[in-house]
Amino acid sequence: MPLGADVESFLYYLSKLYKNFIVYYKEADGKQIERLAKNVEVHKYTKPIKCDRFFCSYGYDIEVEAKEYYHIIHYDALNVGFTPMTNEGFKYIGVSKLACKSFEEKTGKKCELIYNPVPLKPLKVKKKTDKLHLISATRLTNEKGGERINKLAKILDESNIDYDWKIYTNRINYRFTSKNIETIKQKLDLTKETAQSTYLVQLSSCESFGLSVCESLILGTPVIVTDLEAFKEIGCKHGENAIICDLNMKNVDVDLIKKGIPKFKYTPPKETWGKYLNNDTTYDPNELIKVRTLKRIWDLETDLHYMAMQQIELKRYRASYFEALGYIKL
């Protein structure tokens, strides 16, 4: 499967909790693969897969022979711009009540609820207090709220609030109107930045879970979010840990934003992936394996250079990284 941001984050957290699964991908970022491979086995798909249970996201176009097939629904099927895919013989797992409900209404297929895993712990970092510090980690597609970001920034600017807003995104050239907004290239780990911020902001019109929102609340950072069922389902409460805005951004509680939200306790929804996965594995990410290079490589981690068609030894997790970049074949 292509490892997009949503799927990669889901798999990463799953891999921190459970070890006995293998991730196959067709295209992905090398750093994403390297991070996953430190916990579970990761391979580029090149041949038919044989397994006990096969899980996919959106759909698949590879050869698989499995005892059980599952499609993970991590979107609101009633409000996305595409028709949900269904396959004969598949069972369906939704990452929230909303995901299950909308998928069942759209397709008539039964969908089992298993929440996204979010095994984060609060960080001991100092909050920045010189002004309001806002952070967002989001794709800037239509449903992710680029225009609502502009509207909120305008409200803050007209209220003479001193703030900065860092948006980690796939579209760093997106045009925002406020000089207080800075777009930054996506990062795999924003836990420290989120923990130091005043608010995390997610102004979507469509969500099924809200992973970054859940992460922020675990880290002790309140959120500014739109009035979506998904955000309420994972525990967003106006005035307690969140500032909830309507979708047209007409009734934003500016006074509450300025005043701030006091410390709060938050527990994410409990996941139950253990019914399908466990930690019974012999995989060792640091095991040395012999591979042959396809291209010339400079390994920045070890500062070693390798020639094309050279046989070398690598740790398994590093081999997965170089395979993702097309430098070796496993």
Would you list the DSSP string of 105-167?
HHH---EEE-PPP--------PPP-SSEEEEEE---SGGGTHHHHHHHHHHHHHTT--EEEEE
Q: Which two tokens stand for residue 146?
A: 């680029």
Looking at residue 257, what DSSP letter applies?
A: H
Domains and CATH numbers, the chain: 132-259 (3.40.50.2000)
pLDDT for the residue 161: 97
What are the φ/ψ torsions at residue 152 (nearest 5 degrees)?
Answer: -65, -40
What would the pLDDT profile of 27-61 be if each residue is shown by its tens digit? 778 999 999 999 999 999 988 999 999 999 877 88
C-alpha closest to that of 201 among 172, 130, 193, 94: 193
pLDDT for the residue 20: 93
Element (H, E) at 36: helix 30-37
| CA–CA–CA angle 202, 207, 208 (5° rounding) | 135
What would the pLDDT profile of 188-228 be if each residue is shown by its tens digit? 899 999 999 999 999 999 999 999 999 999 999 999 999 99
pLDDT for the residue 2: 37
What would the pLDDT profile of 56-81 be if each residue is shown by its tens digit? 987 788 899 999 999 999 999 999 88
* CB contact at 8 A, 321 and 30: yes
Find the mean pLDDT for residues 73-97: 93
pLDDT for the residue 1: 36
Please state, for a pLDDT cut of 90, what percent of the chain lies above it: 82
Find the mean pLDDT for residues 137-158: 91
